[in-house]
Amino acid sequence: MTEELAQLRSITSTALLADFALGRGLPLGSVLRDTGLRESDLRDPSTEITMAQEFSVMRNVVKGVDDEPGMGLLAGMLCHPPTLGVLGFALMSSSTLRHAMDIALRYADLSFSAARHYVDDRGPEVWVVRDDSALPDDIRRFALERDLAAIQTIQQDLISIRLPAVRVELYVDAHPIYEMFGAVFGVEDVAFSMPQSRISFQASTLQTPLPQSNMSTARFYEQQCADLMESRHSRSGLSGRVRQLLIRHGGSADQTRIASDLDVSVRTLRRRLAEEGTTFRELSLETVGMLAEELLIAGLTVEQAADRLGYASVSAFASAFRSWKGQSPGHFGRLHRGRAAVRY
């Protein structure tokens, strides 16, 4: 599996797809076939899945609805800001549409879209350009339809008036069902069979203030988005795999053992971790610190935690813990003992 397909994603988009499929009469079993997902996963907003799993669900849905043009449009209409969790609340409290657009692009992995989008500022016009080259061909059109309908649905939820686009260009071929795109985006015609899909807006239009704007609330939810993305990033890529192996070994494995588990040389391990902006030592200290917290929260004494983590003495463990948390392990344990531990 490539790193992109192993990337962690919110369950949000997939849960909405499942709701759409159920509404079209598809059994949940066929929607989740060969994905490793369960119904309970869909109902838990904290669930995270891989991009590969999301693609598999979308593929099952596309097959189930016979891949008819326009089906993605119906799926996109189910997407509203509150369904996006903290990202949705950040959008609703943004100051302007441009502010909301910037947040949506910055935290795209918390959104409904599996494609990448970026902004091309051209003075009086702003182009939103779509890169869906990583999407498999058999779901690419459905995903485009779904995302375009979702963008328009969310825009009208944020501000009730329709803000017209300047131009819409789509990679798909023209089809009678797509005549609605012009009306949806307020343009006279839509250009089809283009090399890339993109939409242009007047820059001044994007400065339209949003009715629920609240900068204090927006900053709070933006920080929530940032924290969630950081937590997710820490569990992905090679760094995430190293952390998981260190956890499996109780935090005591050296880099030679971890490199062997990953079937790479120590030199390659160091180089690839450096490319991700970290080192084995940093990951090891971070992981041991996290394990120490969990052991103390679970009720182990300082002596037991030190022994479990392989420290030669309690004083050495206490010194290390104080450098991580700024407090003694005994004090930390008394404050947090009994609280549910979180495995990152």
Q: Where are the alpha helices (DSSP H) in the chain?
A: 3-6, 12-23, 28-31, 39-43, 51-64, 71-76, 86-92, 97-106, 137-158, 180-185, 215-233, 237-248, 255-262, 266-275, 280-297, 302-308, 314-325, 329-336
Residue 17 has pLDDT above 90, yes or no: yes
Mean pLDDT of 123-143: 93
- Residue 34: which H helix or E strand, with range? none
Q: DSSP letters of 210-249?
A: PTT--HHHHHHHHHHHHHHHHHHHTTSHHHHHHHHHHHHT
Mean pLDDT for the chain overall: 86
Residue 297 lies in a domain: yes
The letter for the amino acid at 131 is: D
What's the CATH number where 305 sits?
1.10.10.60
For residues 191 and 222, membership in a common domain is answered with yes
pLDDT grade for 6, boundaries at 50, 70 and 90 = low
Domain match, 36 and 169 both: no
Backbone angles phi, psi at 342, to 5 degrees: -115, 125
The reported pLDDT for the residue numbered 1 is: 38
Residues 207 and 98 in one domain: yes
In a domain, 74, yes or no: no
Same domain, 221 and 242: no
Confidence of residue 234 (pLDDT cuts 50, 70, 90): low
Of 229, 264, 281, the position where a domain reaches its end is 229
Buried/exposed 245-274: b ≥16 CB within 10 Å, e otherwise: bbbeeebebebeebbebeeeeeeebeeebe
Higher pLDDT, residue 8 or 146: 146
Q: Which two tokens stand for residue 132?
A: 């869906």
Query: Residue 268 has which token pair?
Result: 């390659």
Average the pLDDT over 78-92 and give the result.
92
Q: Which pLDDT score, from 0 to 100, does residue 35 have?
A: 87
Does 172 share its domain with 247?
no
Give the DSSP letter of residue 8.
Answer: E
Last residue of a domain, one of 229, 252, 269: 229
Compute the distance between CA of residue 172 and CA of residue 181 in angstroms, rounded to an integer: 12
Q: Is 75 contained in some domain? A: no
State the pLDDT at residue 213.
94
Per-residue confidence at 146, pLDDT binned at 50, 70, 90? very high
pLDDT at 161: 83
Inside any domain, residue 327: yes
Domain boundary (184, 208, 229) is at 229
The pLDDT confidence band at residue 312, using thresholds 50, 70 and 90, is: confident
Q: Are residues 256 and 219 in the same domain?
A: no
Strand order in the sheet with 116-122: 116-122, 125-131, 198-202, 167-169
Number of structural domains in the chain: 3
Pairing verdict, β 116-122 and 167-169: unpaired
Structural domain for 56, as ranges: 1-66
Task: Provide the residue type at 28 as one letter.
Answer: L
Q: Are residues 208 and 288 in the same domain?
A: no
Residues of the chain above pLDDT 90, percent: 39
Q: Is 13 inside any structural domain?
A: yes
Q: What is the pLDDT of residue 337?
A: 65
pLDDT score for 342:
38
87 with 219, same domain: the answer is yes
Cα separation values, 25 from 21, 39, 65, Å: 7, 16, 9
Report yes or no on 323 lying in a domain.
yes
In this structure, the answer to whether residues 14 and 60 fall within a common structural domain is: yes
* 181 assigned to some structural domain: yes
Residue 343 has pLDDT above 50, yes or no: no
- Is the pLDDT at 339 greater than 70? The verdict is no
Q: Among the ranges 49-53, 71-75, 242-246, which has the highest mean pLDDT value?
A: 71-75
- pLDDT value of residue 323: 78
Task: Please indicate, yes or no, whether residues 181 and 207 belong to a single structural domain of this protein.
Answer: yes
Instruction: Say whether both 275 and 310 belong to one domain.
Output: yes
Q: Give me the amino acid identity at 54.
A: E
Judge if 205 and 321 occupy the same domain.
Answer: no
